[in-house]
Amino acid sequence: MTERFAAAKLNLCLHVTGHRSDGYHELDSLVVHIDQGDWIIVEPADDLSLSVSGAFCEGIPADGRNLVLKAAHLLAKQIGEPVGAKISLIKNLPSAAGIGGGSSDAAATLHLLSSLWNIAVPDLDGLSKLGADVPVSMSPELSRMEGIGERLTHLGDPPVLNFLLINPGVDLPTPKVFAALTEKFNAPLPKELPELHSSEDWIDWLIMQRNDLEAPATDLRPIVGEVLSALRDWPSAKLARMSGSGATCFALFSSWADAQEAEAHFAKTQPNWWVRAARTWNGKDQVSRSTT
């Protein structure tokens, strides 16, 4: 039996820069992964199967609709003979939440099964067929995503940043958010990113960036705006922003103690919200299942 942490991703910023003739939107985004996530466990077996447990397992399919099994079948096709594995997904992250839970689950599955079956993971084209966020989820590095996610630039270890994540528990389908976006041609990130060293440098620079999907997401689900307002009003929060297409929002703090203090407050005052303090994850630090 082997297991792998499937880290949530955060879009530190997300600029929508174009709308293609095939309907897809062009993006320019900086992505980090954090120490909150799901877990994938793989055991040898004759057939492929998936079981789902965890705090957010309700409503998660355990059949071919799940991205985990889609990833497993994609890899199995490359072998050309029947292979099997018993896959267990521990679902700690809310789904359809703008933090790439399903994509990270698929990426973790590919890593584990490639080792079990002794086969290389699919190339970028294959990964992209599973979803736009799957390629970036294959690596814990700070990454710049451009195009529809197929143009990736890995930028090394992520900066050390302290977050508070809040998801108010509303459904916010990505296609609806993009459809509600009125301005689809916006300025990209700078061609050359500045050299930023401290967390304060990063926060100061990120304040000047944006998530172009915040406005349509807030129009569709006003509670997203309520979450952002609550985070922006918190005294020690340096920046509040939505991740991806929502509905998860995050605040950035100068210190871990400040993030934990905010977590304690919002967990108590908003018991129906998913509230987690988190830090960037570089793929090397140990993460316990009990902490996610």
The catalytically annotated residue of 28, 133, 212, 258 is 133
- Asked about 123 being catalytic, the answer comes back as no
**What is the chain written as a DSSP string?**
-EEEEEEEEEEEEEEEEEE-TTSPEEEEEEEEEEEEEEEEEEEE-SSEEEEEESTT-TT---STTSHHHHHHHHHHHTT-S---EEEEEE--SPSSSSS-HHHHHHHHHHHHHHHHHT-PPP-HHHHHHH-TTHHHHT--S-EEEEETTTEEEE-SSPP--EEEEEE------HHHHHHT-S--------SS-----SHHHHHHHHHT--BTTHHHHHHH-HHHHHHHHHHHHSTT--EEEE-TTSS-EEEEESSHHHHHHHHHHHHHH-TTSEEEEEEB--SSS---GGG-
- Asked about 63 being catalytic, the answer comes back as no
Query: Which of the residues are catalytic?
Result: 9, 133
